[in-house]
Structure 1
Amino acid sequence: MPKDNFSTQAALYAKFRPKYPEELYDFVLSKVKSFDTAWDCATGNGQVAYRLSETFKDVFATDISQKQLDNAQQADNIHYAIAQAEKTDFQANTFDLITVGQAIHWFNFEQFYQEVLRVAKPEAIFAAWGYGTLTIDNEEANALFQDFYQEQIGEYWDAERGYIDEEYRTLPFTLAEIESPRFEMVYQWTLAELEGYLNTWSSVQKYIKIHHENPVDGFIESLKAIYKSSDIFTVNFPIFMKVGFVK
């Protein structure tokens, strides 16, 4: 049974999840040979599907969460549907590009790669990427954040989070791999934006479900000794990728 860790906070997810840089798309699209059809798997808030809709004739975007799809970005050539990553109704040899943003670590790898091989066209491109734990440009604030991430809510992460912490280095990958650069996302945030992002975490939602209180509240309060509510600070997310082609 696939895990749905994000329906509860779908609206927050759509509002506060980081946006991938254009350089990432430029790299992926530079490998694609035809721009007829793309599949964005585990589309979440639809940000990848929306960007691909500017380049591809048709984009098919799937997720297991109806609430996520209800909050997804819309375009006339995006076709949203509920589907498991490992089992879809797509016809064989359909897609020129298959993408997975910040989600492949949740999948059954063997079954998913079988599905990729089934629905991809020959020489199609597959690209999966994730982003790691953010860092804050203030040393004291970053130390507080790392303690929050590792100590206060560390035990509430599912085991699959380990693939993110390991930056996909240990992620099984059975396609013909293409060497990929690293990217980053850099933002100027306020405490409210950091708070909104942290509340999208599955670990935070699990903590709330168990303890009936939000651990983010206390963490944000601790940062108020460093920042005023109107202060702007820099956060940085590393991005890592697995890109390959279907033989």
Structure 2
Amino acid sequence: MTRNWFEQGGGNYAAHRPDYPAELGAELARIAPRRGTAVDVGCGTGQLTGLLAEHFTHVIGVDPGEDQLAHAAPVRGVDYAHGTAEDLPVADGRADLVTAAQAAHWFDLPAFYTQARRIAAPGAVLALISYGVVEVEPGLRERFERFYWREIGPFWPPERRLVETGYRDIDFPFPQVPVAALFIRRSWPLDAFLDYLGTWSAVRNAAESGHDDVLRHYAADLTEAWGEPSRPRDVVWPITVRAGRLDGESR
């Protein structure tokens, strides 16, 4: 990883990032050859890890951020381990499913893929999951898009581009496994949406470089457009899954 953006602030990340829908866990279990062991790499505070535990006998969540792991909720059947995608603390041939949710764009992919192949059981599936740019209601959309693409945009790490394109351009040398289209849907008041923005690496990068006024100006405009702050507004994230068999190479 060029930088662990989530080394600090695990509590905020756990509280303010959207959870994945139950359908994602079910879909990942469907494409796995067995429901023995799943390994969730870059698990953070366990947003996906817990969902996998509903379908697999054993789930291992791996993350390099000790603060993230400290805020991961304990779940029956889940073990958390401190480690990196490039040096996974998992035994050879163990995993029926390897996942990386909103994390693969930070990895040294060749090294990660080597590790994923090492820990894979026969027929194991690798799934790289991302959720794209949040979609807001029409009355909020124009100002949000200006904030996202023009104002906070220069502060995103370059790896963010892979998320914006739904991992379409990420190196993925495995035979593809089709996955159903899924979405994260929430209805949030103003404070919840602003708290979510505060977890963005671009927002932290802007603040660290003395440009926290970018978020303040947007927050003021958003507050005016939102109306009653407690009024729930619909927010949607499209989920992308690049899935493939680890015991084959695409041609």
TM-score (norm 2): 0.93
Q: C-alpha displacement at 1:215, in angstroms?
A: 3.2
Residue in 2 that maps onto 1:202: 201
CA contact (8 A) 1:2 1:84 kept: no
Bigger mean CA offset, 199-208 vs 77-86: 77-86
1:9/1:199 contact within 8 Å kept:
no
Of the structure 1 ranges 221-230 and 125-134, higher mean CA displacement relative to structure 2 is found in 221-230
Deviations 1:183-215 (A, max 9, x none): 111211111011110000001001111106353
Gaps of 5+ in 1: none
Q: Judge conservation of contact 1:43–1:62 (CA < 8 Å) in 2.
A: yes
Indicate conservation of the 8 Å contact 2:40/2:100, yes or no: yes
Is the CA contact (8 Å cut-off) linking 2:11 and 2:68 kept in structure 1?
yes
State how far apart, in whole Å, the 2-side matches of 1:9 and 1:204 are.
13
Percentage identity across paired residues of the two chains: 29
Q: Is 214-223 or 61-70 further displaced after alignment?
A: 214-223
Q: Distance in 1 between matches of 2:241 and 2:76?
A: 29
Task: Tell me the distance in 2 between the aligned counterparts of 1:64 and 1:153.
Answer: 26
| Code of the aligned partner of 1:23 | E
Deviation per CA, 1:52-100, whole angstroms, max 9, x where unpaired?
1222222111101000001112124211111110112322101111111
Give the 3 Å change call, closer, same or farther, for CA 217–166 of structure 1 in structure 2: same
Tell me the CA shift for residue 48 of structure 1: 1.3
CA distance in 2, matches of 1:212, 1:229: 25
* Contact 1:191–1:220 under 8 Å retained in 2: no
Q: For the residues of structure 2 that align with 1:215 and 1:43, how far apart are their CA atoms? A: 29
The normalised TM-score by structure 1 is: 0.95
* Structure 2 equivalent of residue 220 of structure 1: 219
What is the letter of the counterpart of residue 22 of structure 1? A
Alpha-carbon distance in structure 2 between the residues aligned to 1:46 and 1:180:
22
User: What is the aligned residue count?
Assistant: 246
Runs of 4+ in 1 over 6 A off after TM superposition: none
Q: CA deviation at 1:119?
A: 0.5
1:98 corresponds to which residue?
98
What root-mean-square deviation, in Å, do the aligned CA atoms of Structure 1 and Structure 2 show? 1.4
Hey, what's the Cα distance between the residues in 2 that align with 1:214 and 1:118? 46
Aligned to 2:86: 86
Write the distance in 2 (CA, Å) between the matches of 1:160 and 1:243: 20
Contact 1:42 1:100 in 2 (8 A): yes
Q: Distance in 1 between matches of 2:198 and 2:179?
A: 31
1:40 match: secondary structure:
strand
For residues 86 and 14 of structure 2, the distance between their equivalents in structure 1, rounded to whole angstroms, comes to: 24
1:224 and 1:58 map into 2 onto residues whose CA distance is 44
* Structure 2 alignment gaps of length 5 or more: none
Code of the aligned partner of 2:203: V
